[in-house]
Amino acid sequence: MWSVREAVQRFIESLELTDHQREEVIRQHTLVREQLRRWLSPKTDFLSGSYARRTAIRPLHDIDLFVVLRDTSSPPSESQDTVLKQIRQALQPLRPGMELPILQEHSVHIGFSSPGIEFDVVPAFQQPSQQFYFIPERGTAQWIRSNPRLHEELSTAANERAGKKLKPLLKAVKHWNRNHGSSPLRSFHLEAMSYSAFTSPPTGYLEGLEALFSHLSQQVQRSCPDPAGLGPNVDKYLLPNDRNAAQSILGSAAREMRLVLTEERSYPSQAHARLRSLFGPEYRDGP
């Protein structure tokens, strides 16, 4: 049987994308980008979202791709649907004879069954000062501001403050959230709240998980602005009852981690059982 700390280390490492998965992502997103360049001649394009911030976990879900169509000093005159449908039309030849890519709130979703990789393509217009981009929001029929590159910078800075432990810890929490059926929390909301969790590195992953769950259980009751200070609040999707439910399950996870810290040496079997209950079968206590 592994020690509790070794098992946690191995569990967190298991959430990382494999070299093969990264190679497949590169191959597939290159195809998507080349197709968009042929049809739309965008100003530029780049990966964004959790994959670009290196906070994505296995199994890999959607990968965000930002496509900057042109510069504009004010919100585009085109409707949100018009621009999204242009993206959909450009992507359709990649899936001949199949259903159209899906229009979403901010993006067009396209999946590829053979490698199992899916993309959310976000059309964007760059403000000339290069401080932000306009992206569509179908639900409000507005062009909202965003800057995913600033999100990357903020994510990296928060990770550095935590001695490069925040991103590994966040991946564990994202895995917990994905496997916790009653959690109403979205991945980027968890990430945005985590940026303020550490002012110095935690002693280890066990202490870090307890501190991060505790921090999130408190932060979820507070409003969560866009970390870049541009777009709408990240938590605008939450209802009051959702906040209470999220606080309850995050607080419960923090309490379990405190018990793990007291049991890891005296009752390691019990500590392993608690961690397996939190993180599911992906957490293993031995080979």
**Res 59: pLDDT:** 77
User: From CA 192, how far away is CA 201, in angstroms rounded?
Assistant: 18
Amino acid sitting at position 249: I
What's the CATH number for 19-147? 3.30.460.90
What's the CATH number for 4-16+151-282? 1.10.1410
Q: What is each CA distance from 21 to 103, 159, 192, 246, in whole angstroms?
A: 26, 23, 26, 32
**Res 96: pLDDT:** 81
For the chain, residues classed under CATH 1.10.1410 are 4-16+151-282
pLDDT tens, residue order, the chain (287 aa): 999 999 999 999 999 988 888 888 899 899 999 999 999 999 999 999 999 999 999 877 789 999 999 999 999 999 999 999 999 999 999 988 788 899 999 999 998 766 678 999 999 999 988 789 999 999 999 999 999 999 999 999 999 999 999 999 999 999 999 988 889 999 999 999 999 999 999 999 999 999 999 999 999 999 999 999 999 999 999 998 999 999 999 999 999 999 999 999 999 999 999 999 999 999 999 98
User: From CA 3, how far away is CA 54, in angstroms rounded?
Assistant: 27
Give yes or no for a contact between 247 and 221, defined as CB atoms under 8 angstroms apart. yes
**Res 114: pLDDT:** 62
Give yes or no for a contact between 224 and 233, defined as CB atoms under 8 angstroms apart. yes
Secondary structure (H, E, C), 159-212: HHHCCCCHHHHHHHHHHHHHHCCCCCCCHHHHHHHHCCCCCCCCCCHHHHHHHH
Helix (H, G, I), strand (E, B), or coil: what is residue 129? coil
- pTM recorded for the entire structure: 0.93
Helix (H), strand (E) counts: the chain = 10, 7
**Res 229: pLDDT:** 95
**Res 20: pLDDT:** 85
For the chain, residues classed under CATH 3.30.460.90 are 19-147
β pairing state of 117-126 and 142-146 = unpaired
**Res 21: pLDDT:** 84
**Res 180: pLDDT:** 86
